[in-house]
Structure 1
């Protein structure tokens, strides 16, 4: 039986063309894809349909409501296709891949994000290879989870980050092995795949005000900390700390601002600014104070995975204390068991 894949085109560089105003969405993108693939061996590619979101999303303009639109298309057409490919802009692709891993728990078919650094409309591009490889992965390989494919690397969606602005190898998985790689052969590391689970799809309403990020830097003030932590509608804040979770514990105003936020019931999660790191809260004395406040260790989570997980949990629960308890439990392989 032939396989059929749904491509969901959300926007991004892959579908753009040059203009006097820079790259803009091109017209006739589906025909462009089919024309480019006509030069490939059709016997090794599945059938596919292309669905285009309207309006298209420049990924720099992504907001939580867009996750509902993407997930909604997959949920509503899940039974009709053997796999799904989301064509997405690179700037926020890792955020969307992370969020959909939570929204689409218990998958039994692939959902793979990809895109490109150079548009498909250009003579020299990375778009065609990413597209062909992703079509083959989605149709012919057992991938029952949300993944991200780029430049020969197959990554778990909620372990991925964009690490290069202009390199063709733009994405990596800093704290988790690649799920596979595509070279002369397609090599899939099946031992890394999530075990089968009960299907638990959901499409909750997100509050874009609910989660914020507080970067730690030399000289951060109590006033800045208080301003961020007292934002209207805020329920959780991610501390982007140094190294293994350290911050300036000798600044009493800064620490008092954090303590006041914790006392109000604000959820705080501690992740590292380092690309490769695992938070070890209390390993150094300067982070021990966070344990006293009830700050949650984000362990080895990426910023994208922590940010979207908080949004996901908060959308389904009004009780901050319960969300705080739930956060450390893995949902879709975003942290080690």
Structure 2
């Protein structure tokens, strides 16, 4: 028998931590120190659980890089004491937070699992209990005395995903998330099946590092038929702008009109990075496959490949914050750093 795993549960806010006051019907945050009373099943898990909460839990719509740093610091401060971390988070921006943490944590050798729920923990048909119990169970898994999962993940409705590969796809179903360009890392059924071949393998010789400089001087533009020059040049000429993600059509296609090419060319010449990400949920940017993307390739636009918009945003903030060399920026962005792209 190995030593029981020590798991730190970090509550940031979100539906999962709410409890219904049955007299008024209103939702309020419950005291996480009383977690075992609320979910007695947790006592059956082969691990010790400690909890820590944001002083003022937030709605995940208010999530921002400042809060990402808070979460990262809680994990950094407790990294040597605990074997795994479970972050309870509102589902709306969970994919963004998961992607951001994956870049902020370099040489991570322990599990960081984000989870939440569509219904509050006290609801009769809640999905909160299963999500929480299985997340803790996965975070506590060990092989030869070492954590089995060693990356930032997202667990929801019987599936464990690489967090920086996920997107929230549904606001009402329990299956709220999907990872369309990368297989799930685990499935929870009668047995817990870990898909080992898809897990990131840590380099245990390298020291765990936390990067806390994030630069949010970026913009995201979704192309649509009829987008006009005034709107686009307004965004591309934002003061202080350092990078733009252009959500293109299909396999990375965009208008070939002169004004569009001119705006992109002028932006790249100014040293502002332009990243091509497909607005399709699944699939990849294949710049140069069609004529409608060859011009972007020639203009020096960065190929986002099969990255999600959420991960592209987080990766840009991380690379800009780390003051990545301008000449190497395109190459670094197009290289997988945490398994976020092929």
- 1:242 is matched with which residue? 249
Written as runs of structure 1 = structure 2, the 5 A alignment for 1:38-117 is 38=40, 40=41, 42-117=43-118
The size of the alignment, in residue pairs, is 332
What pairs with 1:123-272 in structure 2 (closer than 5 Å)?
Answer: 123-141=124-142, 142-197=148-203, 198-208=206-216, 210-249=217-256, 251-272=257-278
1:83 and 1:239, CA in 2 relative to 1: closer, same or farther beyond 3 A?
same
Number of the residue aligned with 2:145: none
CA contact (8 A) 1:158 1:304 kept: yes
Judge conservation of contact 1:118–1:127 (CA < 8 Å) in 2.
Answer: yes
Tell me: CA distance 1:43–1:27, structure 2 relative to 1, closer, same or farther (3 Å): closer
Structure 2: distance between partners of 1:30 and 1:127? 17
Distance in structure 2 (CA, Å) of the matches to 1:255 and 1:55: 47
Report the counterpart of residue 28 of structure 1 in structure 2. 31
Q: Give the RMSD, CA atoms, in angstroms.
A: 1.8
Q: Which residue of 1 aligns with 2:10?
A: 8
* TM-score of the pair, normalised by structure 1: 0.94
Instruction: Check whether the contact 1:93–1:113 (CA below 8 A) recurs between aligned residues.
Output: yes
CA deviation string 1:144-167 (max 9, x = no partner): 111110000000111111111111
Structure 2, unmatched stretches of 5+, are 143-147
Give the 3-state SS of the residue equivalent to 1:321 in structure 2.
coil
Aligned-pair CA distance for 1:264: 0.8
Per-residue deviation at 1:25? 3.7
1:80-107 deviation per Cα after TM superposition (whole angstroms, max 9, x unaligned): 1110000001011011111111111222
Which structure 1 segments of 5+ residues have no match? none
SS at match of 1:245: coil
What is the CA-CA distance between 1:319 and the residue it aligns to? 4.3
The worse-fitting range, judged by mean Cα deviation, of 318-327 and 239-248 is 318-327
Q: Distance in 1 between matches of 2:321 and 2:177?
A: 28
**Structure 2 CA distance for aligned equivalents of residues 57 and 199 of structure 1:** 32
Does 2:324 correspond to 1:323?
no
Residue 274 (1) aligns with residue 275 (2): no
Is contact 1:226-1:258 (8 Å) kept?
Answer: no
User: Is contact 1:309–1:327 with CA below 8 Å preserved after alignment?
Assistant: yes
TM-score (norm 2): 0.93
Displacement of 1:320 in angstroms is 3.4
CA distance in 2, matches of 1:139, 1:94: 22
- CA offsets, 1:183-238, max 9 Å, x none? 10000011111122223422323233x11101100011111111111112210110
Deviations 1:267-310 (A, max 9, x none): 01101111111100111101111011100110001111111001
Displacement of 1:175 in angstroms is 0.3
Local SS of the residue matching 2:328: helix
Closer/same/farther in 2, CA of residues 36 and 219 from structure 1, 3 Å limit: same
CA distance in 2, matches of 1:215, 1:41: 44
How big is each residue's C-alpha offset from its partner over 1:45-71, in whole Å with a ceiling of 9 and x where there is no partner?
A: 421111001222211111111110000
- Measured in 2, the distance between the counterparts of 1:190 and 1:318 equals 32
Given the alignment, which residue of 292, 297, 312 partners 1:306? 312
